[in-house]
Structure formats: C-alpha cells, structure tokens
A and B are shown apart, each in its own frame.
Chain A
C-alpha cells in the first residue's frame, strides 16, 4: 500500500516539473524583454544572457521627446478606452434584447454577429482604408475606436448574452410591477447581476484594441496620432535601433494587459467559442 501511494506522488512530481518547465519557457521571451529594457546602451550588443549592470535609468530616458512614447501611450489609452466604451454602449442592449426576446430575424442577427467575429480587420483593411479616407478620419482616434469596437463587439455580445439569459425573468418582472421601466429595470436589476460577464467583455475589448496593429498601421501616419504598437514598429526602420527603449515601452504596454488578462482568464474561452458551442 505504501508503495502504491508513493507512485502517484512521483507522477505528480513529474507532471508538476514538466508543467513548470513549460510555464518558464512561455515566460522566457518576456523575461528577455525585461532584461533588454534594462541593458545599458554600452552593453546592448554584448553576447551574454545578463548585462553586467542594470541601467534603471533606461526606464526614465525612454520618455524622452524624441521617441514619442508618451504621446503614443496616450493615443493607445484613448483608442482602447474609447473602443471599450463604445462596445459597452452598443453590445449591451443587443445582448440583452436577444437574450430576453424571441423574434423573427434574431437568428439572422446572431449569424451576422458570428460572421463579424470570424472576420478580422486584416481581411478588409484595404476597404477600411478607402472608406475612412473618404470620411476624412485618417489620423484620428475615431477611426481606430470604430474599427476596434466593431471587431470586438461580437465577443461582448456572446458573453453578455449568456449572462443575461442566465438571470431569471421573474426578477425583472417583479421590478416592472413595482413601476420600473424596461430600461430602468435592465440598468438597476439585470446589469448588476451580469457584472462578471460585463467585466470580461470590457477587459477583453480593451486588451484587443490595445494590442491591435494592422488597422493602426494603416490608418495612422502622423506621429501625433500613432498608438504604441505602430510607434514601436517605426523603431525598426531607424538606422540604429534603440532596442532598450523599444522593449522598455513594450514592457509598459505588456505588464498591465497581463494582469488584466489574468483576471478574466477563466471566462475568455467561453466568449470566443460561445457562438459555436452553446
């Protein structure tokens, strides 16, 4: 019996060791991001895993006006924040209505949403570019807010639809009997109960917009309108690449989304595959 009990113990240890090793491998590139961000300029091209000193001053010098990282960070915040707000305003009523009502055309609407989720800005980028050129929205945050909101909306509709559908109608009916209007009922009774879904949808939208690259690369050209991803892309074209600042800025962009993503990690798969599995 003793031997049998030890065997699973060994197995668990092996499983844990393999899992930790893989987890470490997954983090390795981001560790290198951190290390490079702290490499002194003079040691940038040395062939070692760790520099001899860490230049913490890199983290302040990267905000120098020449790099435009501060400006781009603000643009990224505006784009991601704006897209998140727009998704909230647009997806919530749609998710609520489709969860609560059966009507002809409901299926068609949900199909349209599902197809939007499958498509990506990349596939349509030439069309998007020509359209926004016509609207004179090139180099504005509005173009990026619209594109990001449009392509993230489907995720938000699915996940909020699922939450709304799980909340008993009786709760709302009780509120309506008490004289609450439909919109008021949704805002005061249903919405608070759907908060986990709502938070997941909004964080996911924020991260997607924050990381978005091709639409931003196509729709912004002037240096005051480029978000962080496009700014970092421009580093590569320079004669000498300031890798330490490039990765300092990457780090600033990456750490917050890692934390945000960890918060919604358990629920994201549901939203991404909900259109199909539910």
Chain B
C-alpha cells in the first residue's frame, strides 16, 4: 500500500503542474495544493483498492500458502519450505496432467481459431435474416459455461442421452449403456468430447472478434483487387488474412488464457476422472485444494507462472496491434 501511495504522489506532481497551467491563477494555500495533488487518487483510488483486495493480495497469499504446511482439515502447522513443490513434482500423475494440459490448450485454441475464421467469413456475407442467425451464435457465450457443460453431460448419458440416441440411429453406437456409449467414462473419448464443448463455447467470442476485424477492412481494397482480376481466394489470402492479423492475434491470446484457466467444463463432465485421467493443471489444482491446500497453492504458483507468460505475449501482441492500427 505504501508503494501505491508513493507512486500516486509521484503521479500527482506531474498532474498539478499541468493542472496549474490550465486552471490559471492557483491559490497559494498549502491545503489547496495538497488537495490537487491527491485528485487522481480520489478518482482512481477505489479502483486501485479493489484490484489490491481481489488480485494483488491473493497473489501474495497464494505465494505464502505454497510454502506452508497445512493439514487436510485446514490447520496451518508451520513452514513447509519447498516441500509442497517437491511433493507436487514427485506426484506420478503430474507428467500426464502436464501433457494433457498442453493437448487441451493447443487443440481447443487451434480448432477454435480455424473454425472461427470460417464462421466470421460466413456471417460477414449479406443474407436475409443475418441478425437473427448471428444472435443464435451468441447463445453459448451468454449462457453459463457450467450449465452448457451439464447439458452436454446429460446428452451423453450412456443409457438415454440424445447424442447416443442419434448415434444409435446412425449405427455408430450399437448398444446403449455399453462401453461405446459411455463417452465420458473413457479418458480419451471424454477428452475429445470436452475439447468439443470447449470449442463450442469459445467460438462466439472468437468469431465476433474476427467479424469486427473483417468489417474494419475497407471494401475498396476488394474492389481494387477485383479490377486487377484477382480471384476470391487470392483476395482472401493477400488482403483479408494479413489485415485480420491483429484481431486474430488478440483473439488467440485471450483464448489461450480462457482455455488454460477453464474449469467448469471438465469439472461438470468428468470431475477430472476416471482417476486423474482427465485433469488439466487447473482442474488438478482444484482437486488438490479439497485436501492439500499447500500443494494446491504450489500448483497454482506454477500455473500462475505460465499465465504470466501468456500475459506477456498479450502485451506484446496488443502493442503490435496498436502500432499497426496507427
């Protein structure tokens, strides 16, 4: 807090100088000067305080907890040094979980970006009823992700889920309540379905972002390309894709963050099971939290390190987008 105040004071000196020049004759009173010096803090203070309570302080607590020895019922015994980290790294499930997290993030983000390119292009065309169709597209974005995951869990019920009813009609599922129809009971098929659900809920935001990017491309460019005899595909590759890059990059990094942090889909569909076989690092952190708070904190610290890398990537991408936009 002291640091923030010091920083704010530094900020205010600059403001006072600028403010005095604009406001004309300034009162000589010390109280008045102090008041002006504190002006930005009065406007930004509440926001800074909220960020401090909800974001900054938890980061400190998280780091502390990762080095504490805490019993399963929540009693802190003392310092654990690096024990929580050691225990976590020795966990035989961890290597599989790390690999699965990588596959999860790469698959969901990759498929989302690809499919969204197509969706954005399609919904950028003129056709009657476009507004209504676009509105349908936002449903998974507006609805709670945990409820969407629950409906998929229900539709995949081995005995009577409608997806299984449909696949039975197609002849893909021979028997209900069988190994084949139990999609969420096998780790591989469970992951595949959950990746599908994650793509489903990520598509609206991504498509809308790319759609906004498409609409920002001046139409004259395409006119000119057509006059030069360029084919549609050529125009897409040489005009659309390069100009879409800033929007694409921003959407991709935001998706990376969302998908890495995604919890409700896996939680509602498998709880990370069978065993630990559908845990990602985020879900694993939560499962650890139930009885090993210290180890969960250690997992969080590692996750947080990865997130910082994504944040840095975002700042880089956004700076690039800003300079390209002029």
Which residues in A have some Cβ–Cβ distance to B below 8 Å? Answer: 12, 15-16, 18-20, 22-24, 26-27, 29-30, 32-33, 36, 44-49, 86, 89-91, 93-94, 96-98, 101-106, 108-109, 111-116, 118-120, 122-131, 146-147, 149-151, 153, 157, 207, 210-211, 213-214, 218, 229, 232-233, 236, 243, 246-247, 250, 253-254, 257-258, 260-262, 265, 268-270, 272-273, 275-278
**Interface range on chain B (Cβ under 8 Å from partner):** 35 or more
B107 close to chain A: CB less than 8 A: no
Are A26 and B139 within 8 A (Cβ)? yes
B147 close to chain A: CB less than 8 A: yes
Are A103 and B11 within 8 A (Cβ)? yes
Majority-rule SS of A interface residues: helix
Nearest chain B residue, comparing its CB with the CB of A243? B154
Are A254 and B147 within 8 A (Cβ)? yes
Are B58 and A128 within 8 A (Cβ)? yes
A126 to B70, CA, bound (A): 13
Nearest chain B residue, comparing its CB with the CB of A246? B150
Are B18 and A102 within 8 A (Cβ)? yes
Are A20 and B133 within 8 A (Cβ)? yes
B77 close to chain A: CB less than 8 A: no
| Complex contacts, A119 vs chain B, CB 8 Å | 55, 307, 311
Majority-rule SS of B interface residues: helix
Are A211 and B145 within 8 A (Cβ)? yes
A168 to B42, CA, bound (A): 23
A158 CB to nearest chain B CB (Å): 12
Are A101 and B15 within 8 A (Cβ)? yes
Nearest chain A residue, comparing its CB with the CB of B307? A123
Instruction: For B135, give its contact among A151, A210, A262 (CB under 8 Å).
Output: A262
Are B138 and A265 within 8 A (Cβ)? yes
A115 to B59, CA, bound (A): 13
Are B304 and A96 within 8 A (Cβ)? no
B111 close to chain A: CB less than 8 A: no
Nearest chain A residue, comparing its CB with the CB of B262? A122
B54 close to chain A: CB less than 8 A: yes
A273 CB to nearest chain B CB (Å): 5
If A49-B165, A127-B58 touch, does A257 touch B50 (CB 8 Å cutoff)? no
| Complex contacts, A24 vs chain B, CB 8 Å | 136
Are B137 and A276 within 8 A (Cβ)? no
B230 close to chain A: CB less than 8 A: no
